[in-house]
Chains A and B, each alone.
Chain A
C-alpha cells in the first residue's frame, strides 16, 4: 500500500513533496488515504529530470527510461509516470534503492507550471556473492553464487553458480544476460554454459549434461512470456549399479543433442504459490535433431485454474499433457515419467507407467490432472503470521502414461488405463517459488507394474500438479 504525503506549502503555489516508499499500485481503483487532493486538474509539465547516484550506468539507457516523464500534462500524470519510470529503473536490475522527489522547478529556464523530478538511485555493487539453498524436483541444493550486475552499464549481468545437492550431485553454470528494455517486446538475451549432474535412482541411471543454452525471453503482453531457446549438449548417461535393468543399461553412453525450444506462459494468477484466483497455462514445444544423435518432437501443455469459493478457500484444477514423437535415437532420458509427490501423489517417484525390473523406463505420451481444495489450517493457528504460510488441502489426482513400444491403437487403450489417488495434507510455502507438501495419500486405482506409495508422502518442489 502506498502513501502519498501532500505537504501544502504556506503561501507558495504548487509547492510539494511527493515520495513513494513502497511500490504503489496506482492503477488500482483504491481510494487514496485522506487528505485527498484532486490532482487530475492541476496543470503541470516536467522541466527537468535529475538522476542522482549514477556512476557506471550508461546515460543513454537511463535517458531512454525517463523520457516518458516529459510527456506528462497534469500533476496526476506526472506522479503516475514517475512511478512507472521508477519501476522501469528497478527492473533494469542495476540499482538498489530508488527514491523519487518531485519539486517545483527553479532557475532561469523554469516555466510557470514546471516541475523537477529527481531520482535518487544507489547502484548495486560490482560483485555480489551469496550462499543459499534451493529446491528442485525433490532435491535440495546448496548453491554458491557470484553475480556481477550491470557489468557494462546497460543492465548486463554475469552470473556464476556452483551447487552441491544432498544426493551428492554437483552442478555449475555461468550465464550472461543482456536486456533490451527500450525495444518493443522487451527481449532479454541469455547465454549460458552449464554442467548438470542428475541421479535418477527410480530409473537406475545417472546423467551428466554439459552444454550451451541460448535463450531469448520476450513479452507479447504483460502476462505472456515467451522463451525461445537453443540448447546444445553432450549427455553422458551411465548406470547406477550392477543390478540396473538391462533396458536401462542399453541406453547408456555419451549422446549429443541439439534442440530448439519454444515455451509460452500466460500467467494470470495473483500469486505463484497459493494463488487465490487466476489461471496459468504453459505450452512448450521442442524440436531436437538439428545436428547431434537424437531427433524428436516433444510438446507439453500445463494448465492450472483457481477459483475462490469463500474467503481463503480456493478450488484448484490443474492438468498436464505431453506427447513425444521419436525420429531416431530417443532414449529413456527424454521420456515422460509420472508419479511422485509433485505429480501423481500416492505413487512412488516415477512409479506409474512402464517398468523394467522395478525401474521406470517412462513413456512417450501422458496426461495427468489434479483437483484441490485449499483451505487455511483448521482452527487457524498463527493467523496473520506464520500460519499464513500453511494451507491444508484435499486432493484427487488422476493420470496415465503410455509406453513407447505400443502401436497407435494400443496407445489409446493404455491412455485410458487411469491411475487415481486421493488424499489430504498440509502444504507449506517456501519463499515465493516453492512449496513443501506432507500428504496422506490413498491410491485408488493402479495398473499392473505400478509402484504405489500409500500413506504419508513428502514432496518439495516448484511445480505441483
Chain B
C-alpha cells in the first residue's frame, strides 16, 4: 500500500492556491509492448479523469515508470515539484487545486461513490492481477513476454519472477490466490451486476461524469479491448451492455482522435 505522510499532505494543501500548470506530465509504461492489463486499466482511468476535469497533461512513456512512481504503482503525474501517483491521490490533488467532479454531490452520494470505487479496486483489480499473473496460460503467453520486454536477459526473467512473487503474496493475503478461474469470473460477474444496476439507463453514475465513471471506463475499456488467451473475463464484462456503452460513450467523448 502506498504511504502518505502528514508532511506530504500539508505540502500538498499549502500548494492548493497555485493553479494547474500547463506542463503536467503523466508517466506510464510503454503502451504497445510493455504495459499489463491492471496497469493499463489504472492509467486509462487517470487519463479519463484528467480529461473529464479538462486539465491539460501530456503522456510520457517510460520503461521504469513503475520504479519512478513514489508508490511503486503506475501511473503518476508530475505537477511542478510534486509527484502524485494513482487515481485517488490524484483526485485529491486536483480537488486541492479547486478542480473536482463531485462537488455538487451530497455526502451520501459521495459515500456511495467511494463504496463503488473500492468495490472495483477489490474485485476488478484483483481479477485482472489474477488473470495476468496466476492464470498459467495468460502468464506464459502474454505477461511474461511483456513484463520482461524492456530488460536484457536474464534481468527480465529475474524481474518477472520477483514481481510474480509479489503479486502472489498480495493475492494470497486477500484470499484470492486459491480461487479457481470460475470463482474469479463469478466475482467479476457479481461486481459488474451491481455496477450496472446502479448505472441503470443513465448516461453516468451520478448524472454527470465523476471519478467513478473514469475508473469504470478504465477497467471496462481495457478488459474488452485487450486480447488475452483467457476470453472469460472480457466475455463476462461484455454481457453487461450498459457498462460497455458507458465505456464507449466516454471513449467517444474524451478520447476521440481528430
Contact = CB atoms under 8 A, between A and B. Distances in A.
Given A242-B8, A253-B64, A234 B158 contact: yes
Nearest to A238: B67
B8 A256 contact: no
B21 interface: no
Contacts of A291: 152-153
B151 interface: yes
A413 to B, nearest CB: 30
Interface in B43-65: 62-64
Interface stretch (A82-90, A152-160, A244-252, A400-408): A244-252
A253 B64 CA distance: 6
Nearest to A246: B78
Interface string A215-258: 00000000000000000001001110010001001101111100
B152 A292 contact: yes
Interface string B140-152: 0000000000011
Interface in A182-236: 234
Contact of A256 (B62, B64, B83, B151): B151
B159 interface: yes
B67 A253 contact: yes
B155 A256 contact: yes
A256 B152 contact: yes
Contacts of A254: 67, 151, 155, 158-159
Contact of A252 (B68, B78, B152, B159): B68
Contacts of B81: 357
B209 interface: no
A242 B154 CA distance: 30
B252 to A, nearest CB: 35
Interface string B186-199: 00000000000000
Contacts of B66: 253
A357 B80 CA distance: 13
**For the side of the interface on B, what is the size category?**
10 to 19
A438 to B, nearest CB: 35
A293 interface: yes
Contacts of B68: 239, 249-250, 252-253
Interface string B159-173: 100000000000000
Contacts of B63: 253
Contacts of A239: 68, 70
- Of the candidates B62, B78, B152, B159, the one having the most CB atoms from chain A within 10 angstroms of its own CB is B152
A238 to B, nearest CB: 7
A236 to B, nearest CB: 8
A237 B153 CA distance: 18
Contacts of B83: 242, 246, 249
A292 B153 CA distance: 7
Contacts of B151: 254, 256, 293
Interface in A327-359: 357
Nearest to B63: A253
Contacts of B78: 246
A234 B8 contact: no
Given A234-B158, A256-B152, 6 more contacts: A242-B70, A250-B68, A252-B67, A253-B67, A254-B67, A291-B153
Interface of A: 234, 237-239, 242, 246, 249-250, 252-256, 291-293, 357
19 contacts: A238-B67, A239-B68, A242-B83, A246-B83, A249-B83, A250-B62, A252-B64, A252-B68, A253-B66, A253-B68, A254-B151, A254-B155, A254-B158, A254-B159, A256-B152, A291-B152, A291-B153, A292-B152, A357-B81
5 smallest beta-carbon distances between A and B, as pairs: A253-B64, A253-B67, A256-B155, A252-B67, A293-B152
